Structure 1
Amino acid sequence: GKSTTTGHLIYQCGGIDKRTIEKFEKEAAELGKGSFKYAWVLDKLKAERERGITIDIALWKFETPKYYVTVIDAPGHRDFIK
């Protein structure tokens, strides 16, 4: 849920365009994971997308009219945390 929430936040704040989200939605649906479209903003590895979990740390930077934003997504699955 963390990656999905974070990806949705990035989209709602204008950090990624609608066309890219639609592309992720199509690709996710092809793997039977249509609800993961926002998670795929940050989950780039093939294994992350297939398994539906974050394996590696990801950064995303964008600007709003008022702020510079850096989002860091980290794994939550016990196999990938120290």
Structure 2
Amino acid sequence: STTTGHLIYQCGGIDKRTIEKFEKEAAELGKGSFKYAWVLDKLKAERERGITIDIALWKFETPRYYVTVIDAPGHRDFIKNMIRG
């Protein structure tokens, strides 16, 4: 999620103000480095535990491409969520 969120930000898929908001909120939970992960990790449990629990979809446009990103859980306890979609 962190790498994907950073990619979305670097490609212009999300604005700096939103990332700064995520950084502040993450820091309040002692997870300041998770700011990019929060682009896709929306569930409270995901943010508290620092893992992806459910799939997330993000679409954005660059000057040359239409991009769709799907973030899926990698933790073994949540693989079933990825399979079910």
Task: Determine if the TM-score, normalized by the shorter chain, exceeds 0.5.
Answer: yes
**Counterparts of 1:30 and 1:81 in 2: how far apart (Å)?**
29
**Counterparts of 1:66 and 1:53 in 2: how far apart (Å)?**
32
1:60 positional shift = 0.2
1:71 positional shift = 0.2
1:4-23 matches, cutoff 5 A:
4-23=2-21
Instruction: Please tell me the root mean square deviation across aligned C-alpha atoms, in Å.
Output: 0.4
> Among the aligned pairs, what percent are the same residue?
99
1:48 positional shift = 0.1
Residue matched to 1:29 = 27
1:43-82 alpha-carbon deviations (Å, 9 max, x no partner): 0000000000000000000000000000000000000014
1:11 positional shift = 0.1
**Which 4+ stretches in 1 moved above 2 angstroms?**
none
1:6 positional shift = 0.1
1:16 positional shift = 0.1
1:19 positional shift = 0.1
Could you list the runs of 5+ residues in structure 1 that have no partner in the other structure?
Answer: none
TM-score normalised to structure 2 length: 0.93
**Counterparts of 1:27 and 1:7 in 2: how far apart (Å)?**
16
1:15-35 alpha-carbon deviations (Å, 9 max, x no partner): 000000000000000000000
